């Protein structure tokens, strides 16, 4: 195992900057997930860690060793790609043992390592098969097994589940979590799927346009996003946003006027906002409620999505450019055109200034722990 440190990493392709000043520390044994929209630089960042892309500027340190100038084979890393990259003419056993054979390891050592990895990954009965005889999930496990036998200091995963169907992706997420628990190895995992990030990571790194927007635990990013981009990216469905302007701002309490004239109290901010300052008010679908006497917004139902255990209800309001999404019960009986009054919980509203930065005060550790996971 080993830690990873990136210092001021820059990478451009021609005149196009892809990574712009990345600083990141990954602890020994940590499962870190790098997440962001397509084209944000996630895979390029992973490839610079692996040594598959040369840096324009910056430093890559694995453990205590500066590996910036070292080739991939000398970095002590193993990378698993989206495409599996298995040799089609080789069996699973031959694929998994190939790297050790090239390195000149003794046959007995190779056999022990391959069979131990196969046992961990549930591949023992498949070692004689070729890739074309395997399912997508089995191929992915074989690719992981090939990486595992090398006993790397760090595992790198580049969107490894994106080729799998939805149900298999759920099962494979469990496999990745279990593998990390067993191997206790540093893992860095790239995905565009924020659900994968939330369910797998010890810590999430959110990337946008080649820059880190925020790092933190899934719980921290969910409850305390640093800016509007993070707030809208983390959570499924995404956070609702309403435009507004400040009426009054005091430490821990801000009054916001919506376009309709409705005023909403938000238990956020530190009193730094002057009257009439434009703000965006954010609230997640699960924090909208029906009933209550304060912070009420009148809406009209435009669509209902029943999902069995719950329903997502889309609500039109003049106070938002996009329909609000409300998480209702599984037996929600409203229909298109119905009027629905929703309450915006003051404790769960977020505020974002004109520059997009979050205005909620930094939470204490006790506050963080009391929120619970979602």
Contact 217, 30 (CB under 8 A): no
Measured CA to CA, the distance from residue 277 to residue 86 in angstroms comes to: 57
pLDDT band at residue 273 using 50, 70 and 90 as cut-offs: confident
Read off φ and ψ for residue 208, nearest 5 degrees.
Answer: -145, 130
Query: Could you give the maximum distance between any two Cα atoms of the chain, in Å?
Result: 77
Residue written as tokens 């990745």?
A: 176
Residue 360: its pLDDT value, please?
A: 64
Residue 84: its pLDDT value, please?
A: 75
pLDDT band at residue 365 using 50, 70 and 90 as cut-offs: very low
Question: Where are any strands of DSSP class E within the chain?
Answer: 4-13, 16-26, 31-35, 57-62, 65-66, 77-80, 154-158, 186-191, 203-208, 211-216, 240-250, 253-257, 263-266, 278-283, 288-290, 296-306, 310-316, 324-329, 339-344, 350-352
Contact 210, 254 (CB under 8 A): no
When comparing pLDDT for 351 and 168, which is higher?
Answer: 351
- 71-130: pLDDT as tens digits: 998 998 988 887 778 899 999 999 999 988 888 889 999 999 999 889 888 899 999 999
Residue written as tokens 């309709």?
A: 260
Residue 256: its pLDDT value, please?
A: 95
- 128-181: pLDDT as tens digits: 999 999 988 888 889 888 888 878 899 999 988 887 777 778 887 888 888 888
Q: State whether residue 171 is helix, strand or coil.
A: helix
Measured CA to CA, the distance from residue 296 to residue 283 in angstroms comes to: 13
Q: Indicate whether 203 pLDDT > 90.
A: yes
Q: Indicate whether 374 pLDDT > 50.
A: no
Number of alpha carbons in the 13 Å side-chain half-sphere of residue 344: 28
Sequence-distant (6+) residues with CB within 8 A of 308 are 330
Q: How far is CA 235 from CA 197, 226, 250, in A?
A: 10, 14, 28
pLDDT band at residue 265 using 50, 70 and 90 as cut-offs: very high
- Domains recognised in the chain with CATH numbers: 4-229 (3.40.50.300), 230-371 (2.40.50.100)
Hey, how many other C-beta atoms are within 10 angstroms of the C-beta on 3?
A: 17
Residue 82: its pLDDT value, please?
A: 76
Angle, alpha carbons 28-34-38 (nearest 5°)? 160
Residue 271: its pLDDT value, please?
A: 78
């Amino acid at each position: 195992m080993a830690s990873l440190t990136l210092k001021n990493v820059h990478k451009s392709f021609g005149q196009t900057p892809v990574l712009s000043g990345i600083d990141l520390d990954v602890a020994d044994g940590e499962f870190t997930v790098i997440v962001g929209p397509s084209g944000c630089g996630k895979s390029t960042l992973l490839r610079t860690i692996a040594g598959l892309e040369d840096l324009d500027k910056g430093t890559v340190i694995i453990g205590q060793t500066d590996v910036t100038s070292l080739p991939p084979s000398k970095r002590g890393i193993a990378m698993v790609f989206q495409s599996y990259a298995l040799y089609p003419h080789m069996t699973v056993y031959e694929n998994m043992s190939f790297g050790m054979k090239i390195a000149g390891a003794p046959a007995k050592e190779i056999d022990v390592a391959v069979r131990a990895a196969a046992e961990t990954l549930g591949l023992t009965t498949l070692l004689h098969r070729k890739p074309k005889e395997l399912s997508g999930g089995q191929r992915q496990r074989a690719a992981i097994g090939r990486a595992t036998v090398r006993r790397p200091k760090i595992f790198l995963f580049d969107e490894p589940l994106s080729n799998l169907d939805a149900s298999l992706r759920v099962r494979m997420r469990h496999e990745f979590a279990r593998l990390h628990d067993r191997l206790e190895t540093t893992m860095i995992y790239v995905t565009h799927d924020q659900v994968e990030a939330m369910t797998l990571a010890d810590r999430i790194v959110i990337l946008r346009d080649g820059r880190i927007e925020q790092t933190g635990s899934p719980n921290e990013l969910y409850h305390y996003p640093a800016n509007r981009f993070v707030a809208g990216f983390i959570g499924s469905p995404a956070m609702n946003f309403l435009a507004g302007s400040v009426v009054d701002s005091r430490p821990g309490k801000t009054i916001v006027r919506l376009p309709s004239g409705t005023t909403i109290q938000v238990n956020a901010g530190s009193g730094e906002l002057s009257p009439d300052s434009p703000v965006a008010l954010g609230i997640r679908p699960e924090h909208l409620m029906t009933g209550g006497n304060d912070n009420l917004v009148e809406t009209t139902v435009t669509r209902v999505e029943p999902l069995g255990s719950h329903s997502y209800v889309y609500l039109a309001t003049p106070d938002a450019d996009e329909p609000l999404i409300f998480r209702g019960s599984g037996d929600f009986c409203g229909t298109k055109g119905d009027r629905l009054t929703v309450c915006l919980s003051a404790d769960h509203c977020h505020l974002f200034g004109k520059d997009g930065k979050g205005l909620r005060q930094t939470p204490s550790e006790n506050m963080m722990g009391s929120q619970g996971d979602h």
